[in-house]
Structure 1
Amino acid sequence: MDSQSQLDSLETWASTLLAKLDPAARRAVMRDIARELRRSQQARIAAQRNPDGSAYEPRKPRLKSGTKKLRGKRGRIKRSAMFSKLRTTRYMRIEADANGLAIGFIGRVARIARVHQFGETDHVAPGGPEYRYPARELLGFTRDDRELIRDMLLKHISHD
């Protein structure tokens, strides 16, 4: 089952449960679910995993022309995990109201996220060469995310 059909079935199931709540309660449920989903997405991005559990394709090594390494040991470039700043709450925002929720990226990083999410072509550096980036799904539902949504909805409905 593809992501869109999973999302549609989840939306259909959740909408019947949410219809039983008043708008203020729906807004509170959506806000709580959005926060937990953002935490889940941030943890998955930090672990460098796609929603299906596969690892992100590693970065292509940066090479200087005519050499095997970018730099020697002295003055070397530290290669840390990808998307470390992108996954912060500063850039990964949530919107939630009584009608739904959204998790996404804002500002200039939204373009970077889109390029990696869908594996698009972009410039490596301003004015630099173009490169087709491999798809690294930053946002997506895992089985645990769907269970989290289900459990939180049931918890909120049972308390009302």
Structure 2
Amino acid sequence: MTDFEPIEQLCRDLLLRTAAPERARLMRSIGREIRKSQSDRIAAQRDPEGAAFAPRRPKSDRGNKKGRLRQQKMFRKLRMAKSLKGGGNADEAWVGFGGRASRIASIHQAGMSDAPAPGQPKVRYARRILLGLTEAERQRILDLILAQLASR
């Protein structure tokens, strides 16, 4: 049992008593806020527990040269708003990847194998947890809900 469980249950009960349009507005704002914090965390190359992502695999066939792509942070396009979506409706708030980005993200999230390009051999990717709530995000969600309920 976490410290937040009684508060979460109270918020759940109070939210069920609010009107659907008001609840939908709140859920959309929660989804947008969490999408932003997930994007910032991915940019910092951290998983939800705060550990650093596994580094890129070494390129032994090219010697010691480091290309421009390898000097950049991983997942810089995945964290853009066109790939990482957030939203909500009266029943839920959600954050996830859309389109082709969802396939790439799921491969890294689960640490699966995939071919980097058509015709190339499959590579096992390190497990890098892209989406997940941190304790600070859980607290922020509760703060948003309580602020909404207090303003009524």
TM-score (norm 1): 0.84
Q: Conserved in 1, the CA contact under 8 Å of 2:8 and 2:142? A: no
User: Residue deviations 1:73-95, cap 9 Å, x none?
Assistant: xxx62120000010010111123
Q: Conserved in 1, the CA contact under 8 Å of 2:47 and 2:128? A: yes
* Runs of 5+ unmatched residues, structure 2: none
Match of 1:111 among 89, 103, 107: 103
User: Is 2:91 aligned against 1:99?
Assistant: yes
Q: Conserved in 1, the CA contact under 8 Å of 2:29 and 2:87? A: no
The corresponding residue for 2:49 is 52
Question: What is the alpha-carbon root mean square deviation over aligned residues?
Answer: 2.2
- 2:42 and 2:7 map into 1 onto residues whose CA distance is 22
User: Is 2:116 aligned against 1:151?
Assistant: no
Shift of 1:16: 1.7
4+ residue runs of structure 1 moved beyond 3 angstroms? 8-14
Shift of 1:145: 0.6
Shift of 1:11: 7.1
Shift of 1:68: 2.4
Alpha-carbon distance change, 90 to 157 in structure 1, aligned in 2, over 3 angstroms: same
* Runs of 5+ unmatched residues, structure 1: none
Shift of 1:26: 0.2
User: Is 2:112 aligned against 1:120?
Assistant: yes
Shift of 1:154: 0.2
TM-score (norm 2): 0.89
- 2:57 and 2:7 map into 1 onto residues whose CA distance is 36
Matches within 5 A, 1:124-135: 124-135=116-127
Count of residues paired in the alignment = 148
